[in-house]
Structure formats: C-alpha cells, structure tokens
C-alpha cells in the first residue's frame, strides 16, 4: 500500500467548523485501527482577518498574509496536502495554491464536480455575501454546465444572520430563517442546494435539511481522505440528502 500523505488544515475560520471537518474526516475513513487513519496537522488560526469584510471593502485587513504563512508552516511541518475549511477563503485560492509546492484541495471545484456527477442542473447557493458577490461558486458551477441561483436580498440577509449572529456567536441556528431561505430557492426551481459556508455545515447537528442539499464541508472531507491516500467508507460516496 502506498504511503499516505499527511493532511494540513488551515483552520479557525471558524473554529467549530474546523473541529467538525476533522470529525468528518475520521468518520469517513474506512479504518479498523488507529494506524489506518490519516495523519493530520491542524493550524487553528481564528486570528486570520475576516474574509468577507476584506472582500466587501479592501480597506479592511487582508487575510492573505496570514493564510499564506499558515499554509507554508503546514508544508514545513510535513503536510503533503492542504485544505482550508472556509469557502470564502477560496477567493485567495490561486495565491495560496501557487504559494506552496504541495496539492491544495479546492472545495468549490470539488463541490461542483459532486453535483455534476449526480446530474444536478440548477443549484441554490447558501453562502456568505463575500462568496456570493465574488461569484466563486457561480464560476465553479458554470464551468461544468450548471447554473447557480442566489437568494433574494432578504434571503441573503437571513443567511448572513444565521452565519454571523447565530453560529459564529455560539448560538443555535434558526430553523425558521433557514426554512425561509431554502423555501425561496426551491420555489425558484432549484434541484439542489449547497451549504456553501462551513458554518452552515453545523446546522445538520441541530436540524434536518430538505432533500437535495449538499454540504461543501462534507465534500471537502471526502476529497481530503482520498487525496491523502486514505480509504473512504462506501456509504460516503453519495453525500446528497
């Protein structure tokens, strides 16, 4: 068996989402002993400046220097594959991936590929305003012939409230707010929905999601296992609800 790569995680964006990614990686790995799991280095760095704040107004501190320094630190510690469990940080994906010499898993590209594999065509996006305005998911989906549908202004405000006012603040997510946003997107004809912010992934711990949802953090966990040479559990092949 080929030697497994050590995974390096640029964490802390947010901290609970990072912890959940590690949990998902462990749960998705088909392992019967400790030794069959991946070696993982987590650099939990919540001090990284807010990604959305910078994207919406570049007078705010840029997260890139911290992200790049963290990536290089992880590579220096022996990580053979990197990831960042923060969708909005992928605004800097080109600089980050070119700033290290090891593979860097692209969560957006992998999520789009997962939806394409299952024949989805019209995808509703739940993400930060930074992710939405930069068109990160829209571009990844368009490249595979899928179209993206965004929430209304009110729906986007509700999504940001769930992310910042509730999950990042350590409060339970509002099922009522989520139902309003997902209902709006499904009524617009979406055949699938993407939880396109890793904070939203934590919603699954509190409530059931409607059919057709795909969690980008679960996609990232799945791809990290395979990219590092780990064995994936068979029931992790289809991540759609």
* Domains in the chain, CATH or no CATH each: 7-107+219-234 (3.40.50.1860), 108-215 (3.40.50.1860)
Q: Token digits for 149?
A: 């549908």
Q: Measured in Å, how far apart are the chain's first and last C-alpha atoms? A: 33
The Cα 180–Cα 153 span in angstroms is 12
| Identified catalytic residue from 86, 190, 213, 224 | 86
Confirm whether 197 is a catalytic residue.
Answer: yes
What is the full per-residue pLDDT of the chain (241 aa) written as tens digits? 568 999 999 999 989 899 999 999 999 999 999 999 999 999 999 999 999 899 999 999 999 999 999 999 999 999 999 999 999 999 999 999 999 999 999 999 999 999 999 999 999 999 999 899 999 899 999 999 999 999 999 999 999 999 999 998 989 988 899 999 999 999 999 999 999 998 898 888 788 888 889 999 999 999 999 999 999 999 998 898 8
**pTM (2 d.p.):** 0.94
C-alpha to C-alpha distances, 50 to 32, 54, 55, 101, nearest whole angstrom: 39, 7, 9, 26
14 cis-preceded (ω within 30 degrees of 0): yes
| β-strand partners of 149 | 124
Confirm whether 213 is a catalytic residue.
Answer: no
| Identified catalytic residue from 81, 83, 197, 213 | 197
Q: What share of the chain is helix, strand, coil (3-state, %, to 5)?
A: 50, 15, 35
């Amino acid at each position: 068996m080929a030697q497994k790569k050590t995974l390096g995680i640029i964490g802390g964006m947010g901290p609970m989402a990072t912890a959940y990614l590690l949990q998902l990686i462990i749960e998705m790995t088909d392992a019967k002993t400790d030794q069959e799991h991946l070696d993982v280095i987590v650099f939990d760095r919540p001090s990284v400046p807010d990604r959305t704040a910078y994207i919406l107004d570049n007078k705010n501190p840029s997260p890139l220097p911290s992200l790049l320094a963290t990536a290089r630190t992880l590579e220096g510690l022996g990580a053979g594959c990197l990831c960042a469990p923060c969708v909005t940080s992928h605004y800097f994906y080109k600089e980050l991936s070119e700033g290290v010499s090891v593979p860097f898993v692209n969560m957006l590209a992998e999520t789009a590929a997962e939806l394409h594999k299952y024949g989805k065509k019209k995808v509703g996006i739940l993400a930060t305003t930074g992710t939405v305005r930069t068109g990160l998911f829209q571009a990844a989906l368009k490249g595979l012939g899928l179209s993206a549908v965004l929430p209304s202004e009110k729906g986007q405000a509700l999504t940001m409230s769930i992310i910042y006012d509730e999950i990042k603040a350590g409060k339970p997510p509002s099922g009522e707010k989520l139902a309003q946003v997902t209902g709006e997107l499904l009524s617009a004809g979406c055949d699938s929905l993407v939880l396109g912010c890793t904070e939203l992934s934590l919603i699954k711990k509190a409530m059931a999601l409607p059919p057709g949802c795909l969690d980008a953090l679960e996609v990232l966990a799945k791809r990290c296992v395979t990219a590092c040479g780990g064995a994936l559990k068979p029931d992790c092949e289809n991540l759609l609800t």
